[in-house]
Amino acid sequence: MSRLRRLFRCVPDIFVAVAYLAVLLAIPQGAFAWGREGHEIIVIVAEHYMRPETATAMRKLLAPESPEEASVWADEYRRDHPETGPWHYIDIPLADSKIDLARECPNGDCVIAKTEHFLAIFERRERR
């Protein structure tokens, strides 16, 4: 069990957990930039709120890796494949109330377009 998972299980008070997460998110992005622990924390929080059957299906899908290990895959892959960098995020102007994919995701190079693309590939494979 990872160190973060043990820490999170020792902090059952949701207010404390949310406050801890808020502090982590308040650190300037350039100084922290998520990193391994940031991704692991998000996985732990997300799994905490999943139905048990959903968490089991997720773990089965990701096996043999743990969800925490899988959460950093894109960052690690990006180191050797910098062309995949834009697939990891989307920049939306703060003043906008809607996403303009033609503007924020040119050529389909953003997290939304790539998620849809890879989900379609996954769904085609599942139908076989």
Residues 7, 63, single domain; the answer is yes
Range of the domain at 107: 82-128
Residues 54, 75, single domain; the answer is yes
Query: Which pLDDT value is given to residue 82?
Result: 94
Residues 88, 64, single domain; the answer is no
Span 75-88, pLDDT tens digits: 899 999 999 999 98
C-alpha dihedral over 101, 104, 108, 111, to 10 degrees?
-100
Query: Which pLDDT value is given to residue 20?
Result: 53
First-to-last CA distance in the chain? 35
Query: Which pLDDT value is given to residue 32?
Result: 45
Residues 63, 119, single domain; the answer is no
Query: Which pLDDT value is given to residue 11?
Result: 45
pTM of the complete model: 0.57
Residues 54, 92, single domain; the answer is no
pLDDT beneath 70: ranges in the chain: 1-33
Please give the full DSSP string across 23-84, using - where no structure is assigned: HHHHS-HHHH--HHHHHHHHHHHHHHTS-HHHHHHHHHHHTTS-HHHHTTHHHHHHHH-GGG
Residues 111, 99, single domain; the answer is yes
